[in-house]
A and B are shown apart, each in its own frame.
Chain A
Amino acid sequence: MCISVLQLFYSFFKSLVGKDVVVELKNDLSICGTLHSVDQYLNIKLTDISVTDPEKYPHMLSVKNCFIRGSVVRYVQLPADEVDTQLLQDAARKEALQQKQ
């Protein structure tokens, strides 16, 4: 991913700190928790986590603090009412234009 788009999403996720999210990893594991922090590589720290499908993935226990490597994240599910999709869309479009120049 090009740097500035990464920056865009870094800022976006920063605005969601404190919200409950579900992070789906590339190995199909889904983890529910509160977004504690995110860094420039989109590494994610969650608190008060739980596994959304414990029967399928008994490995994960109810741990407290969790650090997820950005590169293993497939999706981050967000609370719909916390996301201004129009704003995000406009910002992404602007970013794409920036890239062309």
Chain B
Amino acid sequence: MVLLRSVPPPTEGVRHEQGETTAVLDGKGLGTGTLYVAETRLSWFDGSGMGFSLEYPTISLHAISRDLSAYPQEHLYVMVNAKLNDEMQENAHDDEDEEDECEGITEIRFVPSDKAALESMFSAMCECQALHPDPDDEDSNGDFDGDEYDVEEAEHGQGDIPSFCTYEEGVSGLRAEGQATLQRLEGMLAQSVANTFHMAGVRTDETNGEFDDAVEVDAGSTVAGQFEDADIDH
């Protein structure tokens, strides 16, 4: 509920009270009255009982406007995220063509005769806004169960990711395609490493004269040869 027409101005928890304040709602002047910046709600009443109150969660933003070329008087600007009509009641949302979620906004200007009070009015509103945070929504991050990427599992290698192929299981566990890929990759690795080191047992295309006495072996047979004693067949 945005406006509470029959609710009187608050008497408790009033952080700031500013008399001689004109209220302008969407460009329509409502006369001069008193602004109450209370912890429970923001209220304005004109002294004859007519007025309105705003709930803080409905106030999108508030600001001090000092630019006289934009508006002829310095004032406190308040943007309410609801559409309010002349009868001070929240407008029923009739528009069926409305695509957006937002229901429209209302701009209210509170113009105090004492411009020096604007800072206090602004600060009081800031304090009161902080007292009305939105209730804890459902976790907007969602529940990362099931199909979502599980950070913990991935980082501890306990997820659905395939375990590493070890030599004990043997490259014979790979299909021909896989073995070919493995050899190609090892070759690539050997290429780049051989530029700095010469790894025994790894076949490289580059023959370094410095290591002529090295035994050149076939990478394909190296694996089996090196781990002959390994239990390959499971």
CA distance A70 to B201 in the complex (A): 64
- Structural contact, B61 and A66, CB atoms closer than 8 A: yes
- Structural contact, B130 and A63, CB atoms closer than 8 A: no
The yes or no answer to A96 lying at the interface (CB within 8 A) is yes
**A65 to chain B: which residues have CB within 8 Å?**
63-64, 122
CA distance A25 to B129 in the complex (A): 17
CA distance A64 to B126 in the complex (A): 15
- Structural contact, A97 and B130, CB atoms closer than 8 A: no
- Structural contact, B62 and A61, CB atoms closer than 8 A: no
**A1 to chain B: which residues have CB within 8 Å?**
137, 139-141
- Structural contact, B77 and A63, CB atoms closer than 8 A: yes
- Structural contact, A72 and B60, CB atoms closer than 8 A: yes
Contact of B70 among A2, A27, A62, A100 (CB under 8 A): A62
CA distance A31 to B62 in the complex (A): 12
**A: contact size bracket:** 20 to 34
The yes or no answer to A12 lying at the interface (CB within 8 A) is no
Interface size of B in residues (CB-CB distance below 8 Å): 35
CA distance A64 to B67 in the complex (A): 8
| Chain B proximity mask over A22-46: 1 for CB below 8 Å, otherwise 0 | 0001111101000000010101010
Contact of A97 among B122, B133, B137, B152 (CB under 8 A): B152
The yes or no answer to B79 lying at the interface (CB within 8 A) is yes
| Chain B proximity mask over A1-28: 1 for CB below 8 Å, otherwise 0 | 1100100000000000000000001111
CA distance A63 to B67 in the complex (A): 7
CA distance A70 to B130 in the complex (A): 10
**A28 to chain B: which residues have CB within 8 Å?**
100, 102
- Structural contact, A69 and B129, CB atoms closer than 8 A: yes
- Structural contact, B57 and A63, CB atoms closer than 8 A: no
Contact of A71 among B57, B64, B79, B152 (CB under 8 A): B57
The yes or no answer to B144 lying at the interface (CB within 8 A) is yes
Contact of B60 among A27, A39, A63, A100 (CB under 8 A): A27
Contact of B62 among A5, A41, A67, A100 (CB under 8 A): A67
CA distance A17 to B122 in the complex (A): 20
The yes or no answer to B81 lying at the interface (CB within 8 A) is yes
**B63 to chain A: which residues have CB within 8 Å?**
49, 63-67
**B129 to chain A: which residues have CB within 8 Å?**
43, 67, 69
Per the 8 Å Cβ criterion, residues 84-126 of B in contact with A are 100-102, 105, 107, 122, 125-126
- Structural contact, A26 and B101, CB atoms closer than 8 A: yes
The yes or no answer to A59 lying at the interface (CB within 8 A) is yes
In angstroms, how far is the closest chain B Cβ from the Cβ of A75? 14
- Structural contact, B105 and A27, CB atoms closer than 8 A: yes
Interchain Cβ contacts under 8 Å between A and B, 23 examples = A1-B137, A2-B141, A5-B141, A26-B101, A27-B100, A41-B130, A61-B70, A61-B71, A61-B77, A63-B63, A63-B65, A63-B66, A63-B67, A64-B64, A64-B65, A64-B66, A64-B67, A66-B62, A68-B60, A69-B61, A71-B57, A71-B133, A96-B141
